[in-house]
Structure 1
Amino acid sequence: MLLTIHNLQVRYGSQLALQIDCPISIHEGERIGIIGSNGAGKTTLVKSILGLTSYKGSIRTNLKPEQIAAHMQSNHYAATMPVKTIMETILDTNIRKNRELQELISYFEFEKCLHKRYSHLSGGQKQRFTIIMVMLQNAPLTFYDEVTSGLDFETRQKLMEKLVNWYQNKSNTLCIVSHYYEELEMLAEKILILDQGKVIAFGEKKELFRKYCGRSVFITDSTKQNQELLREYKKLKSPEHLLAIACPDLETEHKISELLLQENVNFKRSDNDIEIMSTNAKAAYYEREGSAYEDQIMQ
């Protein structure tokens, strides 16, 4: 076990920013996705673990500070300095003499950027620059906080594919904070859902999906025709423009798929849709808490 969090509480003035009552444990080699809307407490959690903010409670780990790496949302460097100089200064190394660093620079196709000034890098290049320096640490535990924020879809996809491929078959433990569900579907095996500073759910991605959605889910456009066609089947919480139909078993799945195909309806079948899963986890949580679902999560 790398790290355990228990009875954690973080306040900013009178505002409760994060509260974790039940223990959360992070183990070696896990890939954990941390999701939640703005203000949910995602970055606060990372900063607490890194010792960058005050908290009450317990964060226990056998790791030394230098064994934990982090890519934070905001990274500031000397804008007018060449990237090569910044990299060598921060890492206290010489690129020509560091084979591991050369490998990372080549892997991220960053060679042509080394002699540019930092201010002349594109958004994607700036992210790759910081990722290279984080990865070079080869830390047992690494946090990536909104690593693709502000990038266009194609750049995000390429960057995530690089991350997925690099860490494949490696024992590093990763915690990825993101509000892009498709990124977590690519990389995360466990999911921590936060909302308004509270833990909504935490566990294996597949187990959470089965708990809150069923065996699988069919997703299609929320038209009057589709609503009527699927009226007898259980509907899950979903974005307003979509219908999400729960399939508790294989028989139901066959019936719905045959019906949709017969009526020539476009649909997607999923057994790991994190957006639908997290939306219904929140609905279940606030129903247990006696709070109005729409007031809490449909914002």
Structure 2
Amino acid sequence: MITINNLEVKYGKEVALLIKSPIKFEAGDRIGIIGSNGAGKTTLVKSILGLINYNGSINTNIRPEDISAHMQSNNYAETMAVKHIIEAVLDTKINKNKRLQDLINFFDFDKCLNKRYSALSGGQKQRLTIILVLIQDSPLVFFDEVTSGLDFETRQQLMSKIEEWYRNKNTTICIVSHYYEELEQLTNKILILENGRVIDFGSKEELFKKYCGNSIITLSKTSENIEITKDFRKIKSPKHLIAIPSFSIEEELEVSKLLIEKDISFKRSNSDIEIMSINAKSKNEVYQKDGETLESKIS
């Protein structure tokens, strides 16, 4: 569907994004694009959408008009009734469009139609833009920080609705987010960017095994827990956690048994995008210090 190769984007003299080895997005992929602020996530989306200039190639069989996107900034007339915004943008009447009616009901948005845009809450504004994106039923969709600034419950509700809407559809979805629980819920592949470079790209399962093993056990980082787990190898994790990787069932049982005996609460996971990405970035830093390129290590 999309092949990206030798892509370079510059802002002045600064290289904002550099993708040397080919990256392919296939039909039906659910791709999470992650990285720190300034990593190049939005720059990549804008490049694919043709909104900014770039060097290199982005080859796709999808026409620009068949791509839809939810960007971070979406502005509408503040004083206009929401129903008029929808009808103006989509060039259709709500009462004559059954699919649009179904989508509005699906997102429990019917009570918002007579409100002015300025009167909508943050979550309601996001629902409006999501409705405008989803009604197009495009084969390729981008969501750039679709739930940014929303509370946890609202984020979960929106992502559940998006996941349900696209269930059993062959739509390719690319979602930029710094909320890892959203990516766990919706994606099957992860693209990790940092400082405008590709750290890694692949299925969640492949990347987790590559950087974390078969599973990980996490527990609170207390002085007691540090002492108890001192003989086990660790991997990088958020500062408040200890993460112990297991590469076999025997290793996992050994750790679990000890923690149970000590009456210590822990969590077991075989798909933790946050810890996986932390370790992927950490290995990249090591490779750079060794004077080798990341691509030579990954290939």
Query: SS state of the match for residue 219, structure 1?
Result: strand
Query: SS state of the match for residue 243, structure 2?
Result: strand
Letter paired with 2:284: Y
1:38 maps to 2:37: yes
Query: SS state of the match for residue 3, structure 2?
Result: strand
CA distance in 1, matches of 2:55, 2:187: 28
> C-alpha displacement at 1:224, in angstroms?
1.3
- Who is 1:93 aligned against? 92
CA distance in 1, matches of 2:95, 2:261: 62
Letter paired with 2:278: T
> C-alpha displacement at 1:102, in angstroms?
0.6
Identical positions, percent? 60
- Alignment RMSD (CA, Å): 1.0
1:78 maps to 2:71: no
Query: SS state of the match for residue 11, structure 1?
Result: strand
Letter paired with 1:127: Q
> C-alpha displacement at 1:200, in angstroms?
0.4
- Who is 1:155 aligned against? 154
Query: SS state of the match for residue 171, structure 1?
Result: coil
Runs of at least 4 residues off by over 6 Å: none
CA distance in 1, matches of 2:85, 2:145: 22
- Who is 2:297 aligned against? none
> C-alpha displacement at 1:262, in angstroms?
1.0
Q: Map of 1:117-132 to 2, 5 A cutoff?
A: 117-132=116-131
1:86-107: CA deviations, max 9, x gaps?
1100100111111111110000
Aligned length: 291
1:190 maps to 2:183: no
CA distance in 2, matches of 1:171, 1:133: 19
| Between 30-39 and 282-291, the greater mean CA deviation after superposition | 282-291
CA distance in 1, matches of 2:245, 2:112: 48
1:57-107: CA deviations, max 9, x gaps?
000011111111100001000000000001100100111111111110000
Structure 2, unaligned stretches of length 5 or more? 292-299
CA distance in 2, matches of 1:283, 1:214: 15
CA distance in 1, matches of 2:81, 2:278: 44
CA distance in 2, matches of 1:120, 1:291: 55
1:255 maps to 2:254: yes
1:137-194: CA deviations, max 9, x gaps?
1000000000000000110011111111111111111001000001000001000000
CA distance in 1, matches of 2:27, 2:201: 17
Query: SS state of the match for residue 250, structure 2?
Result: helix
CA distance in 1, matches of 2:49, 2:248: 43
- Who is 2:19 aligned against? 20
CA distance in 1, matches of 2:69, 2:233: 42
1:271 maps to 2:270: yes
- Who is 1:11 aligned against? 10
1:188-215: CA deviations, max 9, x gaps?
1000000010000100000000000000
CA distance in 2, matches of 1:13, 1:26: 29
Taking a change above 3 Å as real, the CA distance of residues 203 and 156 of structure 1, as seen in their structure-2 partners, is same
> C-alpha displacement at 1:15, in angstroms?
1.4
Query: SS state of the match for residue 236, structure 1?
Result: coil
Query: SS state of the match for residue 58, structure 2?
Result: strand
Letter paired with 1:106: N
> C-alpha displacement at 1:241, in angstroms?
1.2
> C-alpha displacement at 1:291, in angstroms?
7.1
- Who is 1:290 aligned against? 289
Letter paired with 1:272: S
CA distance in 2, matches of 1:244, 1:167: 34
Letter paired with 2:91: D
> C-alpha displacement at 1:270, in angstroms?
0.6
- Who is 1:204 aligned against? 203
TM-score normalized with structure 2 length: 0.96
> C-alpha displacement at 1:227, in angstroms?
1.0
CA distance in 1, matches of 2:28, 2:93: 30
CA distance in 1, matches of 2:168, 2:55: 36
Q: Map of 1:218-257 to 2, 5 A cutoff?
A: 218-257=217-256
> C-alpha displacement at 1:235, in angstroms?
0.4
CA distance in 1, matches of 2:286, 2:55: 28
> C-alpha displacement at 1:11, in angstroms?
0.7
Letter paired with 2:86: M
Letter paired with 1:9: E
1:112 maps to 2:117: no
Query: SS state of the match for residue 163, structure 1?
Result: helix
TM-score normalized with structure 1 length: 0.96
- Who is 2:294 aligned against? none
